């Protein structure tokens, strides 16, 4: 042990110790600063941010420490300096990439948490949520690709191979582009949806004859939750190339309709009064639209349309079901002759008899 300490270079020991102390102070300072910011509600930094960045910060500072020449001299690792430096370079790239992705996730959560998707008027919240979810995926892919490129370019041999293959890369790119044009088209459609937003998260849509809500939007596909809990998965290009119904494009409130076929003897005014009474007695109605109209007159019946409004499509559906049931029950109880009849006229001599069925 005495021989080992005698051979220690005091200058190397001093530089290595100074580097270690400096990096330790920086790490501890960063830790307490983020911890302080997270504990103070007036700052936007979340409480758990230090837990997320502690490991990548530790790897980053450790990588800087490994690059110290004095440490190599102190530990007799000069023969392995090249390997250690390359390893530390890869660790630096890895840790910085990790920190960028954590910062992206934290920033996204900070912005999204300011908008409540659970409210009835959540159009702006759904727009923000849709954009940030798609753009986050794009940003993650770009950052990872750049990190892999930086890691590969740190090796001279790979860099030389890349230069020699640069000319043939164009031809290969064209071949790959033709073979993967559907995938590229789906990714571009996902980016277009993020900015133009023909659909948003939690939108109510009718796709392929199915009614459902947008549950997930990725760069290549969209998941629609059908009303009976099935999942309809369609490519993002579908919403760019084909027509579909979006019931909540500009607002969540909708108007519902109920059609009833009655006899010509139906009392329209009484039916309007009953519709108003039904709507006023339920919380499903938002109090905006209350209309009863005769929309058609056929040989055997009259078509009546009741028009009403609700805050969103599920509520509108429940309101339509309620109004249809109550109006039919009202006619059955008070005006049974107003229900549709089939008339048959028979002539017996000079007498005409009418039968209703």
In this structure, the chain runs to a length of: 357
241-278 residue pLDDT tens? 899 988 877 776 778 889 999 998 899 999 999 999 99
Domain closes at, from 251, 274, 293: 251
Confidence at residue 344, expressed as pLDDT on a 0 to 100 scale: 67
CATH number, residue 265 = 3.30.70.100
Confidence of residue 178 (pLDDT cuts 50, 70, 90): low
Mark whether 89 and 183 lie in a shared domain: no
Return mean pLDDT, the chain: 76
On whether residue 82 sits in a domain, the answer given is: yes
- 122 vs 126: CA distance, rounded Å: 6
Confidence of residue 327 (pLDDT cuts 50, 70, 90): very high
Contact partners, residue 306, CB within 8 Å, separation at least 6: 257, 258, 259, 260, 275, 291, 292, 323, 327
The confidence score (pLDDT) of residue 59 equals: 80
Identify the bridge partners of residue 40 per DSSP, sorted by sequence position: none
| 154 within a domain of the structure (yes/no) | yes
Residue-range definition of the domain harbouring residue 73: 1-114
In a domain, 119, yes or no: no
Structural domain tally of the chain? 3
> Mean pLDDT: which of 83-92, 127-136, 146-155, 314-323 is highest?
314-323
222 within some domain:
yes
Q: Are residues 22 and 101 in the same domain?
A: yes
Last residue of a domain, one of 230, 251, 272: 251
% of the chain exceeding 70 in pLDDT = 65
Share of the chain above pLDDT 90, in %: 19
More confident position, 249 or 16: 249
Strand segments (E) across the chain? 204-207, 210-217, 221-226, 231-235, 245-246, 254-262, 290-297, 302-310, 343-348, 351-356
Band of residue 285 on the pLDDT scale cut at 50, 70, 90: very high
Same domain, 128 and 247: yes
Is 346 a domain residue? no
Q: Is residue 152 part of a domain?
A: yes
Over residues 297-309, mean pLDDT: 90
209: in domain: yes
Q: Are residues 53 and 130 in the same domain?
A: no
Nearest to 122 by CA among 226, 220, 213, 243: 213
Average confidence (pLDDT) over 50-68? 73
- Residues 157 and 199 both lie in one domain: yes
Are 164 and 262 in the same domain? no
pLDDT at residue 53 greater than cutoff 80: no
Confidence of residue 233 (pLDDT cuts 50, 70, 90): very high
- Domain contains 343: no
Looking at the structure, tell me whether residues 102 and 156 fall in a common domain: no
131 and 238 share one domain: yes
SS (H, E, C) 171-214: HHHHHHHHHCHHHHHHHHHHHHHHHHCCCCCCCEEEECCEEEEE
pLDDT of residue 333: 92
Q: What is the pLDDT of residues 187-218, one digit of tens each?
A: 778 888 888 888 888 888 999 989 888 988 88
158 shares its domain with 226: yes
Q: How confident is the model at residue 4 (pLDDT cuts 50, 70, 90)?
A: very low
- Of 100-104, 121-125, 296-300, 303-307, the range with the lowest mean pLDDT is 121-125
Same domain, 190 and 218: yes
Where does the pLDDT of residue 5 fall: very low under 50, low under 70, confident under 90, or very high at 90 and above?
very low
Whether residues 172 and 247 share a domain: the answer is yes
Of the candidate ranges 20-29, 94-103, 231-240, 254-263, the one whose mean pLDDT is the lowest: 20-29
Whole-Å CA distances, 173 to 138, 176, 220: 20, 5, 20
Reported confidence tier of residue 348, pLDDT bands at 50, 70, 90 = low
Q: How confident is the model at residue 341 (pLDDT cuts 50, 70, 90)?
A: confident
Question: Which of 219, 251, 283 marks a domain boundary?
Answer: 251
What pLDDT, on the 0 to 100 scale, is given for residue 190? Answer: 80
Residues 198 and 260 both lie in one domain: no
């Amino acid at each position: 042990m005495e021989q080992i300490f005698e051979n220690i270079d005091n200058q190397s020991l001093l530089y290595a110790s100074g580097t270690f102390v400096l990096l330790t102070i920086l790490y501890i300072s960063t830790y307490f600063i983020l911890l302080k910011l997270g504990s103070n509600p007036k700052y936007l930094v979340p409480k758990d941010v230090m837990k997320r960045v502690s490991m990548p910060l530790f790897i980053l500072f450790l990588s800087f420490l490994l690059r110290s020449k004095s440490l190599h001299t102190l530990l007799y690792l000069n023969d392995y300096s090249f390997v250690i430096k390359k390893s530390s370079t890869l660790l630096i790239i890895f840790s910085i990439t990790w920190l960028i992705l954590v910062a992206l996730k934290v920033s996204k959560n900070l912005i999204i948490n300011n908008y409540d998707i659970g409210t009835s008027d959540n159009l702006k919240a759904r727009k923000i949520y849709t954009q940030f979810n798609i753009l986050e995926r794009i940003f993650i892919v770009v950052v990872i690709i750049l990190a892999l490129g930086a890691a590969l370019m740190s090796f001279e041999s790979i860099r030389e191979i890349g230069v020699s293959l640069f000319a043939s890369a164009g031809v290969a790119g064209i071949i790959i582009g033709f073979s993967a044009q559907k995938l590229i088209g789906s990714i571009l459609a996902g980016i277009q949806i993020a900015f133009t937003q023909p659909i948003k998260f939690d939108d109510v849509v009718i796709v392929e004859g199915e009614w459902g809500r947008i549950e997930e939007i990725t760069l290549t596909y969209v998941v629609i939750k059908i009303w009976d809990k099935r999942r309809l998965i369609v490519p993002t290009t579908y919403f760019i190339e084909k027509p579909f119904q979006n019931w909540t494009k500009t607002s969540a409130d909708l108007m519902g309709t109920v059609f009833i076929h009655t006899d010509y003897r139906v009392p329209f005014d009484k039916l309007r009064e009953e519709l108003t009474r039904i709507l006023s007695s339920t919380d499903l109605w938002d109090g905006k639209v209350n209309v009863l109209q005769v929309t058609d007159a056929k040989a055997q019946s009259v078509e009546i349309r009741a028009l009403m409004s609700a805050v969103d499509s599920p509520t509108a559906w429940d309101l339509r079901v309620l109004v249809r049931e109550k109006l039919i029950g009202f006619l059955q109880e008070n005006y049974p002759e107003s229900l549709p009849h089939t008339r048959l006229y028979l002539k017996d001599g000079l007498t005409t008899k009418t039968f209703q069925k």
